[in-house]
Amino acid sequence: MPMNRVVRLVKRPAPGLVSPDCFEIRDETVPEPGEGEFRVRAQFVSLDPAMRGWVNDGRSYVPPVGLGDVMRAFSAGTVEASRHPDFHEGDAVVGLFGAQTHAISDGKGVQRADTSIAPLQTWIGGLGMPGLTAYFGLLRVAEAKEGDTVVVSAASGAVGSIVGQIARIKGCRAVGIAGGPEKCRALVEEDGFDTAVDYKAGNLAGDLAAACPNGIDVDFENVGGPILDAVLPLMNPFGRIAVCGLISSYTATTPPPGPANLRFLLTMRLKMQGFIVFDFARENPIALADLSQWIVQEKLRFREDVRDGGIDAFPETLNLLYTGGNFGKLSLRV
C-alpha cells in the first residue's frame, strides 16, 4: 500500500546551516480528500532559500513553520483523487503542498501547470515562484528600462538567471555576479548576459567596476553583505535597488554587519525597496503570459538542477542553496 512520505519540522535550527535532525522524515497514511478537496501526488518538491527563514521563530512575511508541522514547500504534481468541482484526476498542478509525496488541497492558491508550454518541474521554477519573482522584481520594483545597466547577484540561480535574461529582452545591459568561472561562463555563453563577475575571484570591487563602465542603474539584490557593498559605490544617480533576498546572511552565525557604503543611498539619491513575490499575485497571469511567450520565442531558457534521492534527501539538498552547491533551480524528484 502506498504511504505518504513526509518531512516534518521537529526542532528549530541553531544559526548556520539547518542540521538534518531538525526534520523528521516518516511514512504516514495517504490522506483522503474531503468534500471540496483533492489529493495531489507530488513529483517535484521545490527547494528555496526562503526555507531557512521559514523554520526560524520570528517576525516575517509569513508565520514560521510550526514544530511538528509538514515543512512548507512548493511542489508540482498530479491530481490523483478529487472531490473538488474544478480539479480532476490527471490535472497537473503546482502549489504550497508541503514537503511530502501526497497532499490534500482545497484548490486555494493552486496554479495549473500547462505542460504543453513547459515540463512540470518548470512550473516550480521559471514559470513558478522564481520566475515571477524575477519578473516583478525587475520590471515593477526596480522599474528597469531600455538602456539601463542591470546588475544581479546569485545570477546563475533560479531567480538571477531569469532576471538577466528579462533585462536583455527589455534592452538593458545585464551583468551577473556568481561564484566561480563555470557559473560565470554559463551566464554569458548560455543565458546571454553581457558579462559576468566571479565574486570568489578575490577582486569584486575592481572587477565589478570594470564590468560596469557606465555605472549601475538597477541592482537586483539577491545576496547582500559584501556584494551589496561592492554595488553601492557604482550606483548611478537615481538608481534603483530591488532587495529580493539577502542569502549571504541566512546562515550567518553572527549578526551580519550593516552595509558600509550606505552613504551612496543618500549621495546618489537611490531608491531601495524590498519586495515579496506574493505582493503581486493578482498580476501573475500577466507575468505568466509574458514568460510563456518568451519561452515560445526562444528568448528565455531555464536552468534546472533536479536532484534524485526522493523526500529523504530534503535536508542535505536544502543546504546546497547556502553553499552554492546548486546550479539553477533546485528541486527534488519525489
Ligand X SMILES: NC(=O)c1ccc[n+]([C@@H]2O[C@H](COP(=O)([O-])OP(=O)(O)OC[C@H]3O[C@@H](n4cnc5c(N)ncnc54)[C@H](OP(=O)(O)O)[C@@H]3O)[C@@H](O)[C@H]2O)c1
Which residue ranges make up the site for ligand X (CB under 6 A)?
Answer: 48-50, 129-130, 133, 154, 156-160, 178-179, 183, 222-223, 227, 244-245, 247-248, 275-277, 321-322, 324, 326, 330
- The DSSP letter of residue 39 is E
For residues 90 and 202, which CB has a smaller minimum distance to ligand X in the complex?
202
* Residue 218: how many other CB atoms lie within 10 Å: 29
* Residue 308: how many other CB atoms lie within 10 Å: 9
For residues 120 and 252, which CB has a smaller minimum distance to ligand X in the complex?
252
Bridge partners, residue 75, by sequence: 45, 95
For residues 6 and 277, which CB has a smaller minimum distance to ligand X in the complex?
277
Smallest distance from ligand X to CB 115, Å: 22
For residues 79 and 204, which CB has a smaller minimum distance to ligand X in the complex?
204
All three cell numbers of 277, joined, read 513575490
Smallest distance from ligand X to CB 231, Å: 12
State whether residue 36 is helix, strand or coil.
Answer: coil
All three cell numbers of 259, joined, read 552595509
Smallest distance from ligand X to CB 44, Å: 14
Number of helices and strands in the chain (H, E): 10, 15
Smallest distance from ligand X to CB 208, Å: 13
| Neighbouring C-alpha atoms within 13 Å toward the C-beta of 253 | 4
Smallest distance from ligand X to CB 36, Å: 29
* Residue 205: how many other CB atoms lie within 10 Å: 14
All three cell numbers of 53, joined, read 527563514
For residues 149 and 161, which CB has a smaller minimum distance to ligand X in the complex?
161
Answer whether 334's CB lies under 8 Å from 43's CB.
yes
Nearest Cα neighbor of 222 from 269, 301, 158, 135 is: 158
Q: Which residues contact 198 (CB under 8 A, 6 or more apart)?
A: 178, 179, 180, 181, 183, 184, 207
Bridge partners, residue 40, by sequence: 79, 103
Smallest distance from ligand X to CB 249, Å: 8
For residues 6 and 152, which CB has a smaller minimum distance to ligand X in the complex?
152
Q: 10 vs 7, 48, 56, 137, CA distance in Å?
A: 9, 19, 12, 34
Smallest distance from ligand X to CB 217, Å: 20
For residues 87 and 193, which CB has a smaller minimum distance to ligand X in the complex?
193
For residues 6 and 118, which CB has a smaller minimum distance to ligand X in the complex?
118
Does the CA dihedral 39-45-46-52 come out positive or negative? positive
Nearest Cα neighbor of 239 from 223, 254, 261, 220 is: 220
Smallest distance from ligand X to CB 11, Å: 22
- The DSSP letter of residue 137 is I
For residues 4 and 133, which CB has a smaller minimum distance to ligand X in the complex?
133
Smallest distance from ligand X to CB 156, Å: 5
